Structure 1
Amino acid sequence: MKQIAKFQIFKDSAGEYRWRLRADNNEIIADSGEGYVNKSDCRHGIELVKEQAPDAETEDQT
């Protein structure tokens, strides 16, 4: 059975919540970039990515 990408919520060394997105090969392909005091805020960040990513365009800024 093929694995699918998954979001993981974890606590960092400062005790803040963070998320990371792991690809089906278990590589980390994205992360929250900031810590959240509340787990609900961390979950909200994940939901924003899920909502926005399907329609996201690629902008080459090189």
Structure 2
Amino acid sequence: MGTFVLAKQTDGQFYLKLNAANGETLCVSEGYTTKQNAINGIESCQRNAQDAEIDDQTTD
């Protein structure tokens, strides 16, 4: 199962990472000014990614 990691960086902003079950980082968010905004970002990902489609914009 994947895991969302919430961290505060040295720039004072909060970031979230989505890690795969093997610990590999799948994506990293933009910086959030508050912890609550970062938590809201996690909750938004959880809601919206359940049925997300793939938009393949490659040209091969």
Task: Provide TM-score, normalisation by structure 1.
Answer: 0.87
Question: Which residue matches 1:16?
Answer: 13
Q: CA RMSD in A?
A: 0.8
**What is the Cα deviation at residue 13 of structure 1?**
2.3
Correspondent of 1:39 among 6, 25, 35 = 35
**What is the Cα deviation at residue 5 of structure 1?**
1.1
4+ residue runs over 4 A deviation: none
Identity score, percent: 38
Larger helix percent: 1
Unaligned runs of 5+ in 2: none
Aligned length: 58
Task: Provide TM-score, normalisation by structure 2.
Answer: 0.90
Provide, for residues 26-56 of structure 1, a one-character-per-residue CA deviation record: whole Å limited to 9, x for no partner.
0001111x11111000000001100000110
Question: Which residue matches 1:55?
Answer: 51
